[in-house]
Amino acid sequence: MKKIIFLIIFIILLGGIFWGVFESDFFKIKEIEVIPEGIIDKELILKEIRQKRIYGIFPLDNIFLVKEKYLKLLLAEIKKIEFKKDFKNRILKIYLKKREEVLVWCQKDKKCFSVDEEGIAFRESSFIEGRNLIYVFDDFERKISLSEKVASSQLVETIRKIYQAFKDKVKIDYFIYPEEKLYEIHLKTKEGVIFLFNLKEDISREIEALKRLIEEKKIKAKEYFDLRSLPRVYYK
């Protein structure tokens, strides 16, 4: 009987400690400061962390429990998060660095996402004719979610490199990324001509070869320029 009473008292004490530490207002975050201001509404962050629980049990708005990694999952547009906690006044200072859009990645159904230099999809976007943006369409059968890595940073940099090399030489429509195993990237012009690049070879060499063809105007193609087997260039 004494053991049962002791167990009941222990459970009550344990429950009281749990409530006091995790559920009472004493350790709840009272205020949030976002640095720099204007990146994201601090009230939105406060609302988000008050609704979330770690493992479905522990409240995320506890000044001791809140961690950068949990908040980063909530804010796909944020590249880097650092916290500074004022435990005495229960103030959470959040230092943020946003992801910058370097291209727009689209799928067959034209569902598009803003993608940063790391290849992370962080915001839903759209394909709009005439916008001065780098658009990439892939041929994959996959579902892209926010915070997901849709391409390697190396591929993103290669696409940007090709775009910068030809944006003033041809009217770029968009890029096509076929099946990943092909190791290719295609550039489609508004005239319908497609430039085919081999990602397994030196992309700078392919760019220079195409530049010469365009500048010398010796070869005109109506359908494609195939640079995947340099020094041979195939065209139609």
**Quick one: average pLDDT of 80-102?**
87
pLDDT of residue 11: 55
Give this prediction's pTM. 0.74
Task: Flag whether pLDDT at 16 surpasses 50.
Answer: no
Q: What is the DSSP string of the chain?
A: -HHHHHHHHHHHHHHHHHIIIIISGGGB--EEEEESTTSS-HHHHHHHHHH-EETTTEETTBTTT--HHHHHHH-TTEEEEEEEEETTTTEEEEEEEE----EEEE-TT--EEEE-TT-BEEEEE---TT--S-EEEE-------TT-B-S-HHHHHHHHHHHHHHTTTS-EEEEEE--GGG-EEEEEETTS-EEEEETTS-HHHHHHHHHHHHHH-----SSEEEEEETTEEEE-
**Of 72 and 112, the one with more pLDDT:** 112
pLDDT of residue 224: 85
pLDDT of residue 17: 44
**Of 184 and 86, the one with more pLDDT:** 184
**Quick one: average pLDDT of 192-211?**
92
pLDDT of residue 108: 78
Enumerate domains of the chain plus CATH numbers.
25-98 (3.10.20), 103-235 (3.40.50.11690)
**Quick one: average pLDDT of 20-29?**
60
Chain segment 31-65, per-residue pLDDT in tens: 888 888 767 777 777 777 777 766 656 667 777 77
Chain segment 130-140, per-residue pLDDT in tens: 677 899 998 88
Task: Flag whether pLDDT at 121 surpasses 90.
Answer: yes
